[in-house]
Amino acid sequence: MDHFHYRDGVLHCEDVALPAIAEAVGTPVYVYSAATFRRHAQVFRDGLSGVGAKHLAYAIKANPNLAVLRVLADEGYGADVVSGGEMARALAAGMRPEDIVFSGVGKTRGELGCALDAGLGQFNLELEEEGVVLGSLAADRGMRAPATLRVNPDVDAGTHAKISTGKRENKFGVPIDQAATMFGRLAGVGGLDLRGVAIHIGSQLADLAPLAAAYRRIGALVAELRTAGHAITRVDLGGGLGVPYRSSDVIPSPADYGAMVAEVTRDWDVELMFEPGRVIAGNAGVLLTEVVWVKPGVTDPYVIVDAAMNDLARPALYDAYHDFVAVKPSGERMVANIAGPVCESGDTFAMGRDIDRVVSGDLAVFRTAGAYGATMASTYNSRALVPEVLVDGDRFAVVADRIEPETILAAERVPEWLMPKNLEG
Ligand code: LLP
């Protein structure tokens, strides 16, 4: 459930009419609903009520906006981070270092050192060598780094290949058949406090079966590690639960997911860590855009909007579907292609889609754009970096500025030897 709804024929985010935001901030602009973030945070937590000790670490890659992180910190969420930049955001938002998990397949030595200095609560190791390096960095500081070993369970998550992470050939984790021996070696590394294992098999999962299968494999591994004499106190179950992008999508609810987790992990006797991203952020945001032109096409017309693949990359990258609705629907429909202004045919959001009839100057939104939207934006075609607005009841604020092309241009330089004589000095 989200807080985007029509009131008197006009799409609102909570109590704010979207045209008011377009008027104040311009388009394209991401609009987030604080109430929806809070609700999703609560629903996910409630879904896990049958699970004992747990820690919720929001995967901030889904939407790392500082204001969003504040909302989630107030909901008691920590963070799952994958870079020094994400760590800095989580800390800046007021999350406690011990509530932050550091994941990621390519953490640099510099990032590991900073994270130790900041006192992060958990490092998810992706390879044995990383554990050895982390251990020595921690020992140099007179510390022991709390860690888990990320295991690749070799399970097909049944999602898009580019966001599948739990198959043997993916770059993530250590092979499950080598995990116990590797764990044994890492347990002997001074400076490392190896507490358990971690897993994350993919994103936008619409079926609980692969998750349950992967978790069962992890359960068997935990038992094997305990038999070998290791104290296992933590298992990180990652994120991945999908969200409905179409009204016809059937996705397990957080309650379904929680019931499965409670069942599979019943005898584990560990603290469980969760790293939800999309399920918290996806339906909490829309990308508000204006129709620039409606251009005749061979079969269907092209609705050219002022948002493009640089603002919302998911359709171009993963053929992702985002619902497109008019802010003030007339009740009439049309079949159209929806595209942005970028000079690539890939800058197409939909082909042959049945949508609200729109004309030049109309406002519309791409729905379910709160996760992996603004954070994946670029300035391709020297377009502005898209701004973000947070709505909270009847208030709204710009929570990320539009970065204008001039600002980006100002950060570039022509070296002195390339300057034309007439521009020198
Ligand atoms: N934990 C780890 C280690 C991850 O790699 C991810 C996502 C998550 C948690 C959060 O997964 P979620 O709950 O959001 O599914 N850009 C893609 C999604 C990439 C997901 C990467 N890892 C998209 O737009 O669909």
Q: Is the CB of 240 under 6 A from ligand 1?
A: yes
Q: Taking the C-alpha atoms of 261, 265, 269 and 275 in order, what is their torsion angle to the nearest 10 degrees?
A: -40
Which residue(s) pair with 333 in the sheet?
Answer: 356
Surface-to-core class of residue 258, CB atoms within 10 Å of its CB (0-12 exposed, 13-18 middle, 19+ buried) = buried
Q: Which atom of ligand 1 is nearest to the CA of 163?
A: 19
Query: What was the pLDDT predicted at 289?
Result: 99
Separation of alpha carbons 123 and 134, rounded Å = 9
The residue-averaged pLDDT of 345-362 equals 98
The residue-averaged pLDDT of 31-37 equals 98
Instruction: Return the structure tokens found at 12.
Output: 């609102």
Is 425 within a domain?
Answer: no
Separation of alpha carbons 41 and 333, rounded Å = 35
Q: Which atom of ligand 1 is nearest to the CA of 376?
A: 16
Query: What was the pLDDT predicted at 161?
Result: 84
Interior angle at CA 67, CA 245 and CA 75, nearest 5:
80
Query: What was the pLDDT predicted at 158?
Result: 84
Q: Is the CB of 34 under 6 A from ligand 1?
A: no
**Whether residues 141 and 187 fall in one domain:** yes
**Whether residues 220 and 299 fall in one domain:** no
Q: Which of 227, 260, 281 is the last residue of a domain?
A: 281
The one catalytic residue in 343, 411, 414, 423 is: 343
**Residue 241 contacts residue 256 (beta carbons within 8 Å):** no
Whose C-alpha lies nearest to ligand 1, atom 8?
A: 239
**Whether residues 293 and 215 fall in one domain:** no
Is 423 within a domain?
Answer: no
Query: What was the pLDDT predicted at 167?
Result: 87
**Whether residues 65 and 81 fall in one domain:** yes
Place of tokens 């985002």: 322
Is 345 within a domain?
Answer: yes
The residue-averaged pLDDT of 292-315 equals 98
**Whether residues 241 and 310 fall in one domain:** no
Is 421 within a domain?
Answer: no
**Whether residues 254 and 355 fall in one domain:** no
Domain CATH number, residue 326: 2.40.37.10
Pairing state of beta strands 363-366 and 285-295?
antiparallel
Q: Is the CB of 278 under 6 A from ligand 1?
A: yes
**Whether residues 161 and 71 fall in one domain:** yes
Structural domain containing residue 209: 34-281
Q: Is the CB of 163 under 6 A from ligand 1?
A: yes
Whose C-alpha lies nearest to ligand 1, atom 23?
A: 372
**Whether residues 129 and 216 fall in one domain:** yes
**Whether residues 337 and 401 fall in one domain:** yes
**Whether residues 302 and 367 fall in one domain:** yes
Separation of alpha carbons 276 and 265, rounded Å = 18
Whose C-alpha lies nearest to ligand 1, atom 24?
A: 372
Q: Residue 280 to residues 106, 301, 329: CA-CA distances in angstroms?
A: 25, 35, 28
- Number of Cα atoms under 13 Å in the Cβ half of residue 240: 29
Per-residue pLDDT of 58-71, as tens digits, reads: 999 999 999 999 99
Domain CATH number, residue 194: 3.20.20.10
Q: Which of 257, 281, 305 is the last residue of a domain?
A: 281
Q: Which amino acid is at 161?
A: A
Surface-to-core class of residue 328, CB atoms within 10 Å of its CB (0-12 exposed, 13-18 middle, 19+ buried) = middle
Give the DSSP letter string of 166-221. Answer: -STTSSSSEEHHHHHHHHHHHHT-TTEEEEEEE---BSSB--HHHHHHHHHHHHHH
Q: Is the CB of 315 under 6 A from ligand 1?
A: no
Give the DSSP letter string of 89-107. Answer: HHHHTT--GGGEEE--TT-
- Note if the bond before 28 is cis, omega within 30 degrees: yes
Place of tokens 């049958």: 50
Task: Name the DSSP letter for residue 164.
Answer: B
Query: What was the pLDDT predicted at 291?
Result: 99
**DSSP 3-state of 355:** strand
Is 168 within a domain?
Answer: yes
Q: Is the CB of 372 under 6 A from ligand 1?
A: yes
Does residue 343 have an active-site annotation?
yes
Number of domains in the chain: 2
Cα of 201 from ligand 1 centre, angstroms: 9
Is 12 within a domain?
Answer: yes
Q: Which of 281, 310, 327 is the last residue of a domain?
A: 281
* Terminal Cα-to-Cα distance of the chain (whole angstroms): 60
Give the DSSP letter string of 364-423. Answer: EEESS-SSSSGGG---GGGPPBPPEEEEETTEEEEEE--B-HHHHHHT----GGGS-GGG
Q: Which atom of ligand 1 is nearest to the CA of 320?
A: 25
**Residue 423: pLDDT band with limits 50, 70, 90:** low
Query: What was the pLDDT predicted at 166?
Result: 85
**Whether residues 292 and 272 fall in one domain:** no
Pairing state of beta strands 100-102 and 302-305?
unpaired
Is 141 within a domain?
Answer: yes
- Answer yes or no: is pLDDT of 425 > 60: no
**Whether residues 56 and 194 fall in one domain:** yes
Place of tokens 């106190």: 233
Give the number of other Cβ atoms within 10 Å of residue 267's Cβ: 8
Say which residues have a Cβ less than 8 Å from residue 379's Cβ, sequence separation at least 6.
Answer: 310, 385, 403, 405, 408
Per-residue pLDDT of 194-211, as tens digits, reads: 999 999 999 999 999 999
Separation of alpha carbons 97 and 389, rounded Å = 27
Instruction: Return the structure tokens found at 179.
Output: 């995990």
Query: What was the pLDDT predicted at 424?
Result: 57
Per-residue pLDDT of 79-135, as tens digits, reads: 999 999 999 999 999 999 999 999 999 999 999 999 999 999 999 999 999 999 999
- Answer yes or no: is pLDDT of 318 > 60: yes
Q: Which atom of ligand 1 is nearest to the CA of 150?
A: 3
Cα of 142 from ligand 1 centre, angstroms: 34
Instruction: Return the structure tokens found at 356.
Output: 């609200």
Is 314 within a domain?
Answer: yes
